[in-house]
Amino acid sequence: MNSSNLNRTKNKETAGINLEDTHRIIVIGASTGGLEAFKKIIKELPSDFSPPIFIVWHMSPDASSILPQVLNTVTTICSAHGYDNEEIKANRIYIASPDHHLLIQDGKMRVTRGPKENRFRPAIDPLFRSAAYAYGNRVVGVILSGALDDGTSGLSTVKYYGGVAIVQDPADAEVPSMPKNALREVSVDYCVPASQVGQLLVRLSKEPPPQNTNVIMGVQTKKGIGVTAEDEVFEKDFLRLGELTPFTCPQCHGALSMFQKGNIVRYKCHAGHVYSDDALMLTLTEKVEHGLYDALRGMDETIILLNHLGDHLAAANQPKSAAVYFKKAKELRERSQLVRKTAVEHEQLSRGTLLRAGQNENGAARN
């Protein structure tokens, strides 16, 4: 038997290890730039690496996920998409499917199409939150390359329940926003390049987790998991736990309630959509742009129709009536140019774009 087949045989044997025999549960989240980071981490793991690994990678809902196949080329640890109610086993890599959240509950996985969080499904926060609630201080959370701040709240929950927080060094990340946001809001345990995360996980897997610290299981955490798992929101009176805001959900237009834990703020609607403050700002400014172009389209169509009707009136030898239509079309054209200029100059705002703008202004001032 060659070495490749021997390793696969060992994996099949270790796959039956009782989950309670492992010291750790590994959850990893990434967005843009995550693929290379995943490969660097996974290839450093030995074939008998016992802790199960759960991965969320932001992707288009209609994309065909290649991550399981890619990871299976760099390791003999079996990588596959998790399926709903699948029993969790050691020595496995479970990956969220496109357009589905991946959660951990009672030794099994939940794979759901619950409401999007931070504009994504799958989202990182639900996985981290559910893992922390289910396995407490045994969880190791890892945030890798990506934009905005999905994963920051989830990593904070991992730390709250006594787990270990690891963040890819922003200087090593293709897109540093997610690592930077996590570092700013969470007291992380390790900040290292992706190439060092694998060996760090190996070391942590051999160390027993710290003693339990009698953390109170949060009601918000439990109910938040239930919402993503497609439970009924109103039955749990979830929104009463937050503070009503003047904002409406960009996706369903429901009222948003604010939930704050330390410096981390999240906004939730009764349908279950969740936003960080950064994701909400970006989504709202995206909606403004869409609204401006929608208004511009309506104005252009009205101008075309007015001119078309004016032509018909002129052809019917009604020049005075035609002139009224042509005049109104000209007035509307002038107003539409203001809308067009506003749409072109409109900015989609996020913490990253605002910080870059501030740095550019400071640089220009120094020059």
pLDDT band at 2 (very low <50, low <70, confident <90, very high): very low
pLDDT at residue 147, rounded to an integer: 93
Helix then strand count (H, E) for the chain reads 11, 13
The closest alpha carbon to 225, from 280, 182, 161, belongs to 161
Identify the residue with better confidence: 361 or 196.
196
Round to whole Å and give the CA distance between 225 and 86: 17
% of the chain exceeding 70 in pLDDT: 84
Contact 93, 78 (CB under 8 A): yes
C-alpha span between 325 and 305 (Å, rounded): 9
Catalytic machinery residues: 31, 58, 150
Find the range with the poorest average confidence among 93-102, 150-159, 324-333, 355-364. Answer: 355-364
Residue 6: pLDDT band with limits 50, 70, 90: very low
Is 359's pLDDT higher than 80? no
pLDDT digits (tens, 9 = 90+) for 282-299: 999 999 999 999 999 999
Positive or negative CA dihedral for 73, 36, 139, 109?
Answer: negative
Q: What is the pTM of this model?
A: 0.83
Kindly report, residue by residue over 145-196, the tens digit of the pLDDT.
Answer: 999 999 999 999 999 999 999 999 999 999 999 999 999 999 999 999 999 9
Is residue 47 predicted with pLDDT exceeding 80?
A: yes
Does 58 or 215 have the greater pLDDT score?
58
Band (71; pLDDT cuts 50, 70, 90): very high
Scanning the structure block, which residue is given the tokens 């798992």? Answer: 229
Candidate from 84-98, 155-169, 186-200, 254-268 with smallest mean pLDDT:
254-268
Mean of per-residue pLDDT scores for the chain:
87
pLDDT at 358: 74
What is the rounded (10 degree) CA torsion for 16, 22, 28, 34? -60
Q: At residue 249, does pLDDT exceed 70?
A: yes
Is the pLDDT at 4 greater than 50? The verdict is: no
Reported confidence tier of residue 262, pLDDT bands at 50, 70, 90: confident
